[in-house]
Chain A
Amino acid sequence: MKRGRQPELIRLAAEAAGLGASLSRRGFLMLSVCTVSGLAALGLEQAFGADAPLVILDNAKGMILADPTRCVGCQRCELACTEFNDGRAQPSLARIKISRTVHFGPGGPTGGDGMHGDWGDGLVLQGVCRQCPHPVPCATACPQNAIKVEPETGARAVDPAVCVGCRLCQRACPWDMLSFDEQAGVATKCFLCHGRPKCVEACPAGALRYVPWRDLTRDGGPQRSGLSVVSPESARACTDCHVPAGKTGVR
């Protein structure tokens, strides 16, 4: 989307919502608060604030749901992900994460009670991309705007042609779900395989399902500290929409 067109999009959105031709930024916030998915109805999968490079991504349509009680720790999902997408078997590249949790669980080799994984209670807590709603940490962190919505599924996908390999997205993800392709020098993440996820197909225990999206970012804690990886320019753009309440005439 070209920068020059952004105010045009806001105008279109305002008209569509019946909010008048000169929609203030506040009005846009009202619009998008009502329904972020409403953007899709306007044919806007992505919208930029007037002070780009802020990115607002429409919600994903589907997601991979993982059931730890069925996972048998075989890692076929990791292997399907990279073999069938990248032509090589490489769990460290996999966009679904088992290897780091299969032995001891997400808490690691602590010993004692409460440890998961093969050496603990047997539960394998799979690492799966939540296809986060706005604000999408990896997409927001990317200085190149290389993480975009994949049209078929709404998955947040790294565009390898745009990615420069700075790894900020990796640092930004609260669940450490971004992989890095050392050979190509670009980041990569779960892109839902155009609606037919290879991992779901590969699981011999039915522990993975491809289901309608819902917001999983509020279930269960993130794996790592929330370091805000947002450039100052992007952060300033947040205030285009996020303004104090009750100070406008828009109702």
Chain B
Amino acid sequence: MAATSGGFAGKVLRVDLSTGKIGIQDTIERYEAVLGGAGLGYRVLWDEVPAGTGPFDPANKLVFAAGALVGTSVPCNGRATVTTIFPTCWPRPLVGSGHMGGHFAAKLKYAGYDALIVEGRADKPVWIMIRDARVEIRDAGHLWGSGIRRTTLELSQEMGPDCVVAAIGQAGENQAPMGMVINSVSHSAGGVGGVMGAKNLKAVAVQGSGAVRIAGDKAEWEKLIKFHLSILGGNNQHVVPSFPTPQAEYYNPASRWVGQPGRRWGAAKPPVELAGDIYDLNRIAYRTNSAAYFLGGEAWKYTVRGNGCTACPIRCHTMLRVPSVTVRYGIPDMAQNTCIALQFGRMFFKQPGDGKGGEAAIEACMVGMHLADDMGLWSNYGQLQRDLRKLYEGGYLKTRLGSKEYASIPWDKYENGDPAFLLDIIPRIANRQGELGDVLSRGTGAIFDHWSIPEAEWARDRTTTYWKMGHPKHHANEDDGQCGVIINTQYNRDAQCHSHTNFVRNGLPLEIQRKLAAAIWGSPDALDAPGDYTPANVYKAKRARWSLVRKELHDALGVCNWMGPWVASPRWERGYAGDDSLESRFLSLATGRAIDREELDRAGERIFTLHRALTIRDMGQVDMRSKHDLVPPWVFEDPNGAAPFTKGTTRMDPADIALAMDLFYEIMGWDKATGAPTGERYASLGLGDVGEALRVGKLTPESGR
């Protein structure tokens, strides 16, 4: 493949830390069918990491992969997936991916690589230096024990100020399953930090002077870029503002488009006032303020600006400056992040000292971001915090933890909602100190194993939001009824899928959403309003399939599934319709090879099915339906006893969910009894080799019987 091919960089970099060997492969030759990103990761794991490999074994591999659209100006790109045998997956680690934004993925492309595969284990701490064609394994002894901030600073001094560093902190060094890798201050891939630590890999630092070529006509490309910008909404592709304005026909208080004219970035020097046309393409960055959305209006005065991934105009990582935290807790006064990671600190408390959006809550967020993003400790979508609270509030720790250790933990600060509690608990977990620190560093499954607590005690308690296999729900029935439930059954960690919830929560009135749904998924019955559910139907299953396929596609192309797909838009003159073919149109222009929506979706389905195959193989189990695609009991309950399908409850019905799974398996071409792809299905997706290997192993529905 010529070095100047479009979209793809053309090369996959392999670094074997056991032997020191560095090699290059041709991306298109090996991996064209799986595109890149997580697809490439799954393929490597299938081909090269045998079933039964443990996450911290040298035989496990880490696949850092960008995607064909990464490094371009396609809005909302810049994502890297990190695919590996995922350590927090319980009771048995299986394939999983962390996802990180920031600047790492783009820099890898400019250096000339679509992916980096790390193999083996170094015999002492090392870091990988990548500067275009020059790749070296360098000694990291001087960095071991340092946090991610210092590591980034020192490696940048060594390589140059434009380099991007992906590093682990103490949590990863300690091989904590809850360790993560971070680049660009706040952009983290959860769960994979410990795998890096087990390989003695402290960091990967990249500089790149090369180009991502656009093979197609550059005027066409510019036109499509501008079109995409014109149909963007705010964060999570919420397409109406959260505030009433004469500029918009609709508004929705729950929308993440919070940038109301009159607000300002209060901690900028001088403050920046939000003003003017909210649809102005030169003002997209003012629509979103994650801190204001999650912490309330008070956060505006601490907001410096937005930040985020290369080329994304949304800037969902809000940069905050809170001077009081330096005096009170001895930490820097600046931090940035979004969603759960922004709230890492606050979520440890039942109720922060002065309410959800008060000063103590904001300070707790600052302390949490500082510690978690420096020591590299993952939240597992907030499950870490919920677990700690349940263990304490439920009396588990009082009875199970040794009295000396129990007394050493500042529970009084926890009770008072004092952010200083975090100065103890976060390092305790990252450093795996004592029994509590160690158990929590291993993920929720370790709680069940270590203290012999039945999983059911979590699975029956809706306040834990526990789902299965050691991980929580991630946009399930609380957002999207049967569609959300289906999606949450499919992965080995939390689902990390936002295709469905972005649409459902986009803020448009239900009748307009249903009209759009009819055009995209075949019927207005494809969705209900959250909490006002109707029985399962084939259209909801179709939408679940679309959601999953597009999530894998985004994770393969390197675009952000927290923003896409872009099927709804803020444009009233389009009937609020977006464009369901954007991914394929961009890929066609970038690569110069025409691919339509259906063909690209088939590639997405291929990738998703490969994940299924890996799960089946590594579980040694063909019956996915009863052994893997699980739904926790709390989903089928309501605290007030409301019945399913009554307005105001998100309670689902078991028979209806069983039907939903039937419909989903049917649409996927999978065996209904087992939820496993048939040999024929594998073959039709170009996964014949995979299907054959599973058939031989009696792990297809036909051979397993």
Whether B153 lies near A75 (C-beta < 8 A) is: no
Whether A76 lies near B73 (C-beta < 8 A) is: yes
Whether A89 lies near B152 (C-beta < 8 A) is: no
Q: A111-B153, A119-B185 are known contacts. Are A91 and B110 too (CB-CB below 8 A)?
A: yes
Q: A92-B209, A122-B304 are known contacts. Are A83 and B221 too (CB-CB below 8 A)?
A: yes
- Residues on A with C-beta less than 8 A from B306 are 72, 205
B153, B209, B282 — which one has the most chain A CB atoms within 10 A of its CB? Answer: B282
- Residues on B with C-beta less than 8 A from A90 are 110, 209-212
> Out of B73, B110, B152, B269, which one reaches A119, CB within 8 Å?
B152
> Is A26 part of the binding interface, using a Cβ–Cβ cutoff of 8 Å?
no
Query: Restricting to A59-77, which residues have a CB under 8 Å from any CB of B?
Result: 69-76
Query: Restricting to A163-204, which residues have a CB under 8 Å from any CB of B?
Result: 182, 201-204
> Out of B185, B218, B286, B312, which one reaches A87, CB within 8 Å?
B218
Nearest CB to that of A105 among chain B residues? B161
- Residues on B with C-beta less than 8 A from A203 are 282
> Is B268 part of the binding interface, using a Cβ–Cβ cutoff of 8 Å?
yes
Whether A74 lies near B149 (C-beta < 8 A) is: no
- Residues on A with C-beta less than 8 A from B161 are 100-101, 103-104, 108-109
> Out of B73, B184, B272, B284, which one reaches A79, CB within 8 Å?
B73
- Residues on B with C-beta less than 8 A from A84 are 218, 221-222
> Is B310 part of the binding interface, using a Cβ–Cβ cutoff of 8 Å?
yes
Nearest CB to that of A120 among chain B residues? B334
Residue contacts A-B, CB under 8 angstroms, 10 given: A70-B305, A72-B285, A83-B72, A83-B221, A89-B212, A100-B162, A111-B153, A201-B282, A204-B281, A205-B284
> Out of A71, A80, A108, which one reaches B73, CB within 8 Å?
A80
Query: Restricting to B301-329, which residues have a CB under 8 Å from any CB of A?
Result: 304-308, 310-313, 315, 319, 321
Count contacts on A: residues with CB < 8 A to the other chain.
42
A103 CA / B312 CA spacing, docked (Å): 16
A95 to chain B, nearest CB (A): 14
Whether A109 lies near B156 (C-beta < 8 A) is: yes
A183 to chain B, nearest CB (A): 8
> Out of B222, B312, B319, B334, which one reaches A83, CB within 8 Å?
B222
- Residues on A with C-beta less than 8 A from B284 are 204-205
> Is B71 part of the binding interface, using a Cβ–Cβ cutoff of 8 Å?
yes
| Closest 6 pairs (CB-CB, A-B) | A204-B313, A90-B211, A79-B73, A204-B284, A92-B209, A205-B285
Residues of B within 8 A of A (CB): 71-73, 103, 106, 110, 149, 152-153, 156-157, 161-162, 164, 184-185, 208-214, 218, 221-222, 225, 229, 268-270, 272, 280-286, 304-308, 310-313, 315, 319, 321, 334
A242 CA / B391 CA spacing, docked (Å): 83
Give the tally of cross-chain contacts (CB within 8 A). Answer: 128
Whether B282 lies near A205 (C-beta < 8 A) is: yes
> Out of B156, B222, B319, which one reaches A104, CB within 8 Å?
B156
A227 CA / B279 CA spacing, docked (Å): 47
A57 CA / B590 CA spacing, docked (Å): 39
> Is A121 part of the binding interface, using a Cβ–Cβ cutoff of 8 Å?
yes
B348 to chain A, nearest CB (A): 26
> Is A126 part of the binding interface, using a Cβ–Cβ cutoff of 8 Å?
no
A115 to chain B, nearest CB (A): 9
A201 CA / B222 CA spacing, docked (Å): 11
- Residues on A with C-beta less than 8 A from B286 are 205
A74 CA / B221 CA spacing, docked (Å): 19
Whether A69 lies near B272 (C-beta < 8 A) is: yes
Whether A82 lies near B311 (C-beta < 8 A) is: no
Q: A72-B285, A109-B161 are known contacts. Are A88 and B307 too (CB-CB below 8 A)?
A: no
> Is A20 part of the binding interface, using a Cβ–Cβ cutoff of 8 Å?
no
A132 CA / B2 CA spacing, docked (Å): 40
Whether A118 lies near B307 (C-beta < 8 A) is: yes
Q: A109-B156, A122-B307 are in contact. List 6 more A-B contacts (CB 8 A).
A: A89-B72, A89-B214, A90-B212, A204-B282, A204-B315, A205-B284
Nearest CB to that of A91 among chain B residues? B110
Encode contact with B along A113-137: 1 for CB under 8 Å, 0 otherwise: 0000011011000000000000000
Nearest CB to that of A77 among chain B residues? B73
Whether B305 lies near A72 (C-beta < 8 A) is: yes
A198 CA / B625 CA spacing, docked (Å): 53
Whether A89 lies near B283 (C-beta < 8 A) is: no
Whether B185 lies near A118 (C-beta < 8 A) is: yes
Q: A72-B307, A79-B72 are known contacts. Are A121 and B334 too (CB-CB below 8 A)?
A: yes
- Residues on B with C-beta less than 8 A from A70 are 272, 305
Nearest CB to that of A93 among chain B residues? B211
